Amino acid sequence: MKKQKQGYLISFEGVDGAGKSSHIARVKARLEELGFECLQTREPGGTPVGEAIRELVLHHDMDVNTELLLMYAARRQHMVETIQPALDRGVWVITDRFEDSSFAYQAGAGGASWEDCQQLSKWALKGFEPTLTFLFDLPIAVSQSRIQGRAGASDKFEEKPTSYFEAVRAGFIKRSQLNPRRIRLIDAQPPEAEVGETVLAELDKFMRTHLNLGLA
């Protein structure tokens, strides 16, 4: 494995059905092929505390501000217990969701204040953010069609009306507009392999321009 003084955090965001899991696996495999050590994690989750909060948030109805506070409690623990120690060891951390999801779900669609979300971020994360974010954008009709084909139990978010997910999508797009240097907005409508090529091309571009590294 290649050793670095500091690792990098890559987050994957977007509405469900956009293929995040497949692209996470693709990026992780490519980085490991290049000799970098990677840690895959998720939100909410990534720690025992975070996983307990995940169960609460996904399967119990609650006030949206309670939900937002729980998400940032889980995120803070995730950062200090899992992510930062790995980064300090030179590990690349790949997370399925980070705080962009709170701006999209709790603030964008859930009714929490965008400003409250910003203040919580400043207090809990102290400016900490991913180095790179892949945001997969998908029309909600396509998202719902893909989700219907899944097996397994749903969570409370999957049972929300279409209007909720339209607001989630708008929240994500707003975040991408506010953070263009960090966030790569990816059209997730094409076939998975085609989207995957786009993701790896963006990863290559990022490594070459920001880190003086390349995939070739």
Asked whether residue 50 is domain-assigned, the answer is yes
Handedness of CA 157, 161, 163, 169 (dihedral sign): positive
Handedness of CA 132, 24, 156, 142 (dihedral sign): positive
Asked whether residue 141 is domain-assigned, the answer is yes
Asked whether residue 216 is domain-assigned, the answer is no
Quick count: other Cβ atoms within 10 Å of Cβ 171? 23
The pLDDT of residue 196: 98
Asked whether residue 3 is domain-assigned, the answer is no
Asked whether residue 100 is domain-assigned, the answer is yes
Interval 141-178: pLDDT, tens: 999 988 886 666 578 888 889 999 999 999 999 999 99
- The span from the CA of 192 to the CA of 180, in Å, is 24
The pLDDT of residue 26: 98
What share of the chain has pLDDT > 90, as a percent?
84
Interval 65-114: pLDDT, tens: 999 999 999 999 999 999 999 999 999 999 999 999 999 999 999 999 99
The pLDDT of residue 200: 98
Interval 20-43: pLDDT, tens: 999 999 999 999 999 999 999 999
Number of domains within the chain: 1
Strands 9-14 and 132-137: parallel
Domain of residue 91 covers: 9-210
* Gyration radius of the chain over CA positions: 17
Match 């207090």 to its residue by tokens: 123
Token pair of 198 as six digits: 């786009």
Asked whether residue 20 is domain-assigned, the answer is yes
Asked whether residue 2 is domain-assigned, the answer is no
Interval 41-58: pLDDT, tens: 999 999 999 999 999 999
The pLDDT of residue 147: 85
What's the CATH number where 114 sits?
A: 3.40.50.300
- The span from the CA of 157 to the CA of 202, in Å, is 30
Task: Please tell me the least confidently modeled range out of 28-42, 178-192, 198-212.
Answer: 198-212
The pLDDT of residue 149: 66
Global pTM reads 0.93
Quick count: other Cβ atoms within 10 Å of Cβ 145? 12
